[in-house]
Chains A and B, each alone.
Chain A
Amino acid sequence: MVDRSIENFECGHRACGGCGVSSAVRMILKGYGENTIVVNSTGCLEVFSTPYPETAWKTPWIHSLFENASAVASGIEASLKKQGRLDTEKILIFGGDGATVDIGTLCISGAFERGHDFTYICYDNEAYMNTGIQRSGATPYDADTTTSPAGKCSTGNSLPKKDYPQILVAHGSPYVATASMAYPGDLMKKVEKARNIKGPCYIQVHTPCCTGWGFDGAKTMEIGRMAVECGLWVNYEIIDGELAAVKKVKRVPVDDYLKAQKRFRHLFKPVRNDAEIAKIQAIADKNAKKYGIDIE
């Protein structure tokens, strides 16, 4: 049972107003419960929450480098095991999409292969946001970022979004899930579930970024819902390698979701780029088929 009264993330941090990550982190810490040790990669979350001497974390918390959170967590887990603390205390790793799907892959692969007991949360705002909105392996097709800009000869990011959860499934992770901060109840339940499953669990959480994606901060959850409703983001659980649960939707075309964000505005101005939007629609259609998200 998730204890919603838990407040382990304090006010006074320096996230943008309307930040999807800080909202998600508050929910996730409720879902994961007390006796949590947090390991955090370099990135938005680490930077806005710990400018010395101010820290927003009421849990024990450690940040080392950009790419090594999983290796640091492996060491913590081994130490807790030796000290007999691993039954009560659990490790929660936070890494942004850049820290996870790109630079962190070496350490993540090793940690998951060795089967350490922890939960890894990738907060996915779909770019290197902290450094100013650069393209990452999780940036969706045709998104405008500073290193994959739209221009006269470009329609934005020309590469697909990396299917990272599959990589962890291949490593034999007992619990691999996707979630969205736009669905708090679902997110918190998944986090609680992951805590209680022994082994390396992974949850990729969609955390819309008003600053990076270009929308009004009040609409953060609305944008998150639109992503799920058009099929560009799918919430699912893979338990012991088998697809176990999927959020079904009455699917709508991708247009409204894309139109609502500056990072896709180039697909509509000066004229609607039918070919590119069709490609993005095809991605949503493929997701729908692969995961069976359409309500008949």
Chain B
Amino acid sequence: MALGIGCTARPGNSRNNKTGSWRVFYPVMDTEKCTKCGTCQLICPEGCIDQNPDKTYSIDLDFCKGCGMCAEECPDKAKAISMVMEEK
């Protein structure tokens, strides 16, 4: 692959870096409890939470670093996300 002149690149290839491998904890999403508020999707530092067809949300574990912000900020009346330790 030729070098991008001047150290340049077109978008897309940060996705080659699967940051999911960083995790110690991973999020478990219970879509039954999800109130579809969209908070998790909005605040996730990775942007790896996507909306399902039924408007609930799911987390892309290829990229999730397991920070736990989504679980923390999921509204009290839902608490649809819990953090579980990775088994290694």
**Contact surface of A with B, Cβ cutoff 8 Å:** 4, 7, 9-23, 26-27, 49-50, 52-58, 181, 184, 210, 216-222
Contact = CB atoms under 8 A, between A and B. Distances in A.
B43 A54 contact: no
A53 B15 contact: no
Interface of B: 1, 4, 7, 9-19, 22-23, 38, 42-48, 60, 62-63, 65-69, 71-73, 83
A210 B73 CA distance: 16
A27 B69 CA distance: 15
A127 B9 CA distance: 29
Contact of A54 (B13, B23, B48): B13
Nearest to B11: A58
A184 B9 CA distance: 30
Contact of B69 (A53, A57, A220): A220
Contacts of A57: 11
A12 B45 CA distance: 11
A240 to B, nearest CB: 31
A221 B72 contact: yes
A10 B73 contact: no
Given A18-B67, A218-B69, A221-B69, A10 B43 contact: no
Given A53-B13, A57-B11, A217-B69, A12 B4 contact: no
B43 A17 contact: no
Among B12, B16, B67, B73, chain A packs the most CB atoms within 10 A around the CB of: B67
B42 A18 contact: no
Contacts, number: 109
Given A10-B47, A12-B14, A26-B45, 9 more contacts: A4-B38, A10-B11, A17-B67, A21-B45, A52-B7, A53-B9, A55-B9, A56-B14, A184-B42
Closest 9 CB pairs between A and B? A218-B68, A18-B67, A17-B65, A12-B14, A17-B67, A11-B63, A217-B67, A22-B45, A12-B17
Given A49-B14, A54-B13, A7 B47 contact: yes
A184 B73 CA distance: 12
Nearest to B62: A11
Contacts of A220: 45, 67, 69
Given A10-B11, A17-B45, A52 B4 contact: yes
A12 B15 contact: yes
26 contacts: A11-B15, A11-B19, A11-B46, A11-B47, A11-B62, A12-B14, A12-B19, A13-B17, A17-B22, A18-B68, A18-B69, A23-B43, A23-B44, A26-B47, A27-B43, A50-B9, A52-B4, A52-B9, A54-B16, A55-B10, A55-B11, A58-B12, A216-B68, A217-B69, A219-B72, A222-B72
Contact of B4 (A11, A14, A18, A53): A53
Contact of A27 (B7, B22, B23, B42): B42
A10 B50 CA distance: 12
A220 B65 CA distance: 14
Contact of A11 (B48, B68, B71): B48
A4 B66 CA distance: 23
A13 B73 CA distance: 22
A52 B72 CA distance: 33
Contacts of B15: 10-12
